Amino acid sequence: MPVIDLRSDTVTTPTSDMRAFMMQAAVGDDVFGEDPTVNDLQNMIAEMLGKEAALFVPSGTMANQISINAHTEPGDEVICDYNAHIFNYEAGAPAMLSGVQLHPLHGENGHPNADQILEVLRPSDDHYPRTTLICLENTHNRGGGTIYPIDKIQTIRSLTRKNNLKMHLDGARLWNASIETGINLKDYARHFDSVSLCFSKGLGAPVGSIVAGTEEFIEKAHRHRKAFGGGMRQVGMLAAACIFAVENHFERLAEDHQNARILAEGLNKIKIFDVPLSTVQTNIVIANTTSESSNAYEIVNHIKKKGVLAIPFGSHKIRFVTHLNINRDDVTNTLELLNRIFK
């Protein structure tokens, strides 16, 4: 029985063309800065984001944690959203690796506004930790793939400049935000001191993320990457996959967004599900289960036996994600199957 895997866009696998491109990559020692394909990737992304330099890393978590470490000192405080990836899904790394504490805010759809941030900035007093960094996430995973409004970002940036704070963007799915809004990556990135991007989600590369910023920032980040165990050697083949992904799979993300909308609208026709369509902005669909007896974990386990994979996002929430390996027929078949199960 074929399986329709809607758990995450991280389950994407390299296409045959991507694999062939990887095999042709020139390689060198990246720790010494001598892998030509990695250097090409870093230069390409720095240019796309309008930054001075970039650094290839194994994962999005490492990209975020390197950035936090480079921007802060132990004892500092970092403001983020309560549902942010760095607060929920990075194993307590800000405290473990950088000695900082997170101050989470309850933003709308994962997007704190400037007033909320201003309210919690620490005064200059030795009793308090120093607020030094604001971390935003775009698109926002637990918000349902929601896009951070650019005007909100601009207002927060003005606030950080007035208060001498740094800004980091967890832009693992910034590609999706850019495709959906038509806003250039560079126009998003210019409001941040550092930006991380992921290649192994919607773009379909097998592994890899990147962080970009000033040359001074990347010099620090390079040292932290080494300290965190992220120094890679002849890694050009992985960098080649990322180059291929950007050049061939960036624009097609619009298809994933269309499929997610069709899936969301179809789920709303099944009485057990309720999807707030206002949050379905990119490739993530978070469906509420409407019946008190319908535990999300039980539903996920039940539909898994029928060949559809999803992730429980709480006792009454289920996440479905469309991606490179999900086509329109897969969405149609999923809805037909769920209709039969929950009729």
pLDDT at 293: 61
Structural domains in the chain (count): 2
Is a pLDDT exceeding 80 seen at residue 206?
Answer: yes
Q: Per residue in 253-307, pLDDT tens?
A: 999 999 999 999 999 999 899 999 999 999 999 999 977 667 899 999 999 999 9
Over its C-alpha atoms, the chain yields an Rg (Å, rounded) of 20
Alpha-carbon span 216 to 194, nearest angstrom: 11
Classify residue 2: in a domain, yes or no.
no
Q: Per residue in 139-157, pLDDT tens?
A: 999 999 999 999 999 999 9
Residues 289, 334: one domain? yes
152-180 average pLDDT score: 97
Q: How many CB atoms lie within 10 A of CB 214?
A: 13
pLDDT at 302: 92
Residues 331/266, Cβ–Cβ less than 8 Å = yes
Look up the CATH number of the domain holding residue 276: 3.90.1150.10
Which of these three, 248, 274, 308, is where a domain ends? 248
Look up the CATH number of the domain holding residue 182: 3.40.640.10
Cα 274-275-279 angle, rounded to 5 deg: 155
Is a pLDDT exceeding 70 seen at residue 64?
Answer: yes
Q: Which domain holds residue 322?
A: 252-341
Residues 167, 292: one domain? no
Which of these three, 216, 248, 280, is where a domain ends? 248
% pLDDT > 90, the chain: 94
Residues 296, 311: one domain? yes
Is a pLDDT exceeding 80 seen at residue 1?
Answer: no
201-211 average pLDDT score: 97
159-173 average pLDDT score: 97
Which of these three, 222, 248, 274, is where a domain ends? 248
Q: In the sheet that 194-198 helps form, which strands lie side by side, from edge to edge?
A: 53-57, 209-213, 194-198, 166-171, 131-137, 77-81, 101-105
Phi, psi (5° rounding) for residue 269?
-90, -5
Q: Per residue in 225-258, pLDDT tens?
A: 999 999 999 999 999 999 999 999 999 999 999 9
For all residues of the chain together, what is the average pLDDT? 96
Q: Number of H helices and number of E strands within the chain?
A: 14, 13
pLDDT at 292: 65
pLDDT at 2: 83
Alpha-carbon span 164 to 154, nearest angstrom: 15
Residues 189/50, Cβ–Cβ less than 8 Å = yes
Residues 208, 314: one domain? no
Residues 169/138, Cβ–Cβ less than 8 Å = yes
Classify residue 7: in a domain, yes or no.
no
